[in-house]
């Protein structure tokens, strides 16, 4: 009887199994034809972000919902493949899409553990899920996943499937695919990954948020060790390799952002242009945009601007803590509370947020974001010494809980710092075609995305004078012309508005002054008299030749002192006309656009000097103006630039009324650069903060690095320009031969009773006289 019942039970079970198998087979037969087409796999077109590079190939920006870098399976290092297989699917190359042994092993493990601890998804099944299915945990979804896995295995090779997986899988921090994750977490390409790093990345697919090495380094380490153990058990690595990798420190980049160089303002300009042209596809089609920036120039510009702004900021004193934390009321672990709070405070440049733990006795003990504790004293806190006083109210004082900034000086020292309130901009272009070599639109893009290079319309002050002087040369003036540097007064009837009494910056007046000297010393009254002589309307029209908007430079006498408005980019383009010998070039920032396959789909075709660029001033005018602007650097308001040790630099300082804007616009024959500093809500920078004191140091810091190794330029004197000795007091030819040399248009040499003029080139004594000029 017992045997009979046992036989009936087995028969029933067998029948149920057969029925179940038939049912599953029937469902498969019905479902398989309805499965989605594999075209999305066979013609794989992943969402690849827009990437922006310098001309020399360094990444400066990336835009798109998904960070992704597609790689061929042949470019994936073997150690990473083995780590992935050990972590996700050790029998990948043996099964046909569904690993039945893996299913049984997972079922047994889950039964023994009393819950779902292991899954049985193969890499092929994960590919099916990632491309076609949701992540809901239902039998129907799992059934479709298995059927799709069979279909994929029938259509693609194992290497093709693994390649899809490696490129498509999400690994946290918006990184899709292992190539992107390697850059995001470790800042390196796949080929440079160590065994320890490969194992850490291979552990991410199981739960990217849980095992994220940025957010959860301890869990990431545990998962990495599991992957390494599996690799050892499977014979992929030796015991010695396992031990070495397990002990190797692996530190993920806290800033999980792919980017080798700070060029955010230019990257944003590219993004806007690409979206205008391609719409939302700009973010997914894998465009690579190569800008005209050069890495060395961009780095030099950013460092120069930040150094100049911080030096200005320190000259004007500490303004107090950014805020306060009530540390004594904080519950839980104090360090954890502080770190969590500081995570909400952005890092700006190298100004790191910190919390004061102790203050007193001439010392500050601070906890710095990231876990470092510092004790600052002496010179490190002298900048903020006044705020340690007990006489200040608690909401202003440096005390326990104060939120401050600290900065590393590049050596061994840390010092207290603060976020600057002032802004600045720097742009550099190649004067031969307008290619932008460096552009920094503000102190920090994360704090303010307002691009001061192209969006800030500010008064150029004395920076406009060279263009007024250039107009004067066209009207018959010469560098030796004598203009009276003396006070002027205009009543309301003359100005049409209100009385105006222009003054020199230093309120000193030198009487009759040569134009060359007046420009070098930036004499305001000479400029006003020039405008009177040539006419404000003529000057307005003449400025348009250099790219200035006439509507922003009304035809009044105040035009001579830069009362109109211009952007740093406009100033750079305008000064390029002097640097390149009289041609108008249009600044541009994109060299070429490539598609995801590297095919060039657009390339810049700029008008170059001698190749399509429009001549807007006489070559002789450009040369003579350059010689006068070199005098500004040699002996005038920009004389401190001589510390660079070069004799081929020219430029002009610019300072507006009440020191609201400070500029320096200058050039070498191969490079034009403009630096500006001021407040977004215009107000005085402070007495004495002129273009020479506030902007010129930024320009000098940049040019010192940008021109390093560049030979000193020789300025060719154009035909039609001659040198004559003149009396410095009269500006006329000196009959004694003892006068000072000066350049003139050949037909415009000032006359005298006697005294020869010397051709600039070729004539006996010409080179000697020219050397005296420079």
**Residue among 291, 397, 354 at smallest CA distance from 50:** 291
Residue 439: name the closest of 417, 458, 457, 454 by CA: 454
CB 653 within 8 A of CB 646: no
Give a three-class secondary structure readout of 2-33: HHHHHHHHHHHHHHHHHHHHHHHHHHHHHHHH
> What is the C-alpha to C-alpha distance for residues 415 and 111, in angstroms, rounded to an integer?
59
Q: Is the distance from CB of 701 to CB of 303 less than 8 angstroms?
A: yes
- DSSP state for residue 146 in the 8-state scheme: H
Q: What does the angle CA 573 – CA 576 – CA 580 come to, to the nearest 5 degrees? A: 145
Taken in order 226, 228, 230, 232, the sign of the CA dihedral is: negative
Q: Give the start-end residues of each E strand in 336-408.
A: 352-360, 363-368, 372-377, 402-408
What are the b/e assignments for 268-281, b being 16+ CB within 10 Å? bbbbeebeeeeeee
Distance of CA 476 to the CA centre of its chain: 45
Instruction: Kindly state the tokens that stand for 43.
Output: 């013609």
d(CA 672, CA 676): 14
- The reply to whether 665 belongs to the active site is no
Whole-angstrom Cα distance, residue 163 to residue 153? 13
Identify any residues that bridge with 614 across adjacent strands, giving them in sequence order: 584
CB 673 within 8 A of CB 575: no
3 state SS for 408-473: ECCCCCEEEECCCCCEEEEEEECCCCCEEEEEECCCCCCCCCCCHHHHCCECCHHHHHHHHHHHHH
d(CA 511, CA 362): 55
Beta pairing partners, 511: 485
Q: Are 156 and 41 in contact (CB under 8 A)?
A: yes
Whether 666 contacts 699, CB under 8 Å: yes
| CB-CB contact of 324 with 359 (8 Å) | no
736 is catalytic: no
Among the options 121, 180, 262, 462, which is catalytic? 462
Can you read off the two tokens belonging to residue 37? 């087409």
Helix, strand, coil shares of the chain as percentages rounded to 5?
A: 45, 20, 40
Ramachandran angles phi, psi of 508, nearest 5°: -110, 140
d(CA 681, CA 56): 37
For residue 424, the cross-strand partners are 677
Please pick, among 62, 88, 197, 689, the residue that the annotation labels catalytic: 88
Q: Which DSSP string do the residues of 102-129 spell out, in sequence order?
A: HHHHHHHHHHHHTS-------HHHHHHH
Q: Which two tokens stand for residue 557?
A: 């006498």
Instruction: Please report which helix (H) or strand (E) contains residue 314, including its range.
Output: helix 295-315
Other C-beta atoms closer than 10 Å to the C-beta of 104 total 11
User: Secondary structure of 470-499 in the HEC alphabet?
Assistant: HHHHHCCCCCCCEEEECCCCECHHHHCCCC
Q: What residues does 355 pair with on adjacent strands?
A: 367, 403
SS3 call for 768: helix
d(CA 199, CA 228): 6
Q: Please calculate the CA angle 442-445-449 and round it to the nearest 5 degrees.
A: 85
- Just list the catalytic residues: 88, 462
């Amino acid at each position: 009887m017992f045997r009979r019942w046992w036989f009936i039970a087995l028969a029933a079970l067998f029948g149920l199994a057969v029925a179940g198998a038939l049912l599953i087979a029937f469902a498969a037969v019905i479902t398989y034809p309805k499965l989605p087409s594999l075209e999305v796999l066979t013609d794989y077109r992943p969402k690849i972000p827009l990437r922006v590079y310098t001309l020399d190939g360094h990444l400066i920006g990336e835009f798109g919902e998904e960070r992704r870098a597609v790689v061929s399976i042949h470019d994936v290092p073997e150690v990473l493949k083995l780590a992935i297989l050990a972590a996700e699917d050790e029998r990948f190359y043996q099964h046909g899409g569904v690993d039945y042994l893996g299913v049984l092993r997972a079922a047994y493990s889950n039964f023994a553990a009393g819950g779902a601890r292991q899954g049985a998804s193969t890499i092929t099944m994960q590919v099916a899920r990632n491309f076609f299915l949701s992540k809901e945990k239902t039998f129907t979804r799992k059934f479709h996943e298995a059927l799709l896995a069979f279909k994929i295995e029938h259509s693609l090779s194992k290497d093709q499937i693994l390649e899809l997986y490696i490129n498509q899988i999400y690994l946290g921090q918006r990184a899709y695919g292992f190539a992107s994750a390697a850059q995001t977490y470790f800042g390196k390409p796949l080929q440079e990954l160590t065994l320890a790093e490969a194992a850490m990345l291979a552990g991410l697919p199981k739960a990217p948020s849980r095992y994220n090495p940025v957010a959860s380094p301890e869990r990431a380490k545990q998962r990495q060790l599991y992957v390494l153990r599996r690799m050892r058990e499977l014979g992929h690595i030796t015991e010695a390799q396992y031990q070495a990798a397990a002990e190797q420190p692996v530190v993920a980049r806290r800033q999980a952002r792919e980017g080798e160089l700070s060029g955010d303002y230019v990257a944003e300009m590219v993004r806007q242009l690409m979206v205008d042209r391609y719409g939302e596809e700009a973010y997914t089609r894998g465009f690579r945009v190569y800008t005209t920036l050069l890495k060395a120039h961009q780095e030099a510009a950013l460092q120069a601007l930040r150094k100049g702004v911080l030096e200005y900021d320190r000259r004007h004193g500490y303004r107090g803590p950014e805020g306060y934390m009530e540390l004594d009321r904080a519950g839980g672990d104090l360090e954890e509370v502080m770190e969590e709070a500081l995570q909400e405070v952005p890092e700006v440049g190298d100004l790191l947020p910190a919390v004061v733990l102790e203050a007193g006795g001439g010392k500050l003990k601070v906890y710095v974001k990231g876990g470092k504790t510092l004790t600052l004293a002496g010179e490190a806190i002298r900048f903020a010494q006044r705020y340690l006083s007990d006489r200040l109210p608690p909401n202003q004082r440096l005390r326990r809980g104060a939120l401050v900034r600290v900065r590393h000086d590049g050596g061994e020292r840390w010092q207290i710092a603060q976020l600057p309130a002032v802004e600045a901009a720097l742009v550099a272009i190649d004067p031969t075609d307008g290619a932008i070599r460096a552009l920094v639109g503000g102190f920090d893009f994360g704090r303010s995305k307002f691009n001061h290079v192209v969006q800030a319309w500010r008064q150029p002050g004395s920076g406009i004078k060279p263009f007024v002087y250039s107009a004067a040369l066209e009207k018959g003036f010469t560098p030796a012309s004598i203009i009276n540097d003396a006070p002027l007064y205009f009543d309301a009837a003359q100005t049409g508005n209100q009385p105006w009494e222009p003054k020199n910056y230093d309120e000193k007046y030198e009487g009759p002054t040569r134009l060359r000297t007046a420009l070098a010393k930036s004499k305001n009254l000479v400029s006003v008299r020039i405008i009177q002589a040539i006419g404000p309307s003529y000057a307005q029209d003449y400025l348009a030749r250099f790219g200035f908007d006439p509507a922003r430079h009304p035809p009044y006498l105040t035009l001579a002192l830069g009362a109109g408005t211009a952007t740093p980019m406009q100033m750079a383009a305008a000064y390029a006309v002097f640097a390149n010998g009289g041609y108008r070039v249009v600044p541009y920032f994109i060299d070429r656009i490539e598609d995801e396959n590297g095919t060039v789909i657009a390339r810049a075709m700029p008008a170059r000097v001698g190749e399509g660029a429009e001549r807007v001033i006489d070559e002789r005018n450009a040369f003579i103006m350059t010689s006068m602007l070199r005098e500004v650097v040699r002996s005038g308001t920009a004389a401190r630039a001589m510390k660079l040790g070069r004799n081929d630099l020219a430029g002009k300082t610019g300072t507006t009324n009440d020191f609201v804007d400070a500029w320096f616009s200058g050039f070498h024959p191969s490079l034009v650069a403009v630096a500006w500093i001021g407040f977004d809500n215009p107000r005085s920078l402070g007495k004495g903060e002129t273009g020479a004191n506030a902007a010129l140091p930024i320009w000098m810091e940049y040019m010192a690095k940008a021109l390093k190794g560049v030979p000193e330029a020789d300025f060719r004197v154009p035909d039609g320009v001659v040198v004559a000795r003149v009396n410095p007091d009269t500006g006329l030819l000196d009959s004694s031969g003892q006068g000072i040399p000066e350049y003139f248009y050949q037909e415009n040499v000032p006359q005298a009773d006697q005294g020869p003029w010397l051709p600039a080139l070729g004539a006996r004594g010409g080179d000697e006289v020219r050397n005296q000029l420079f």
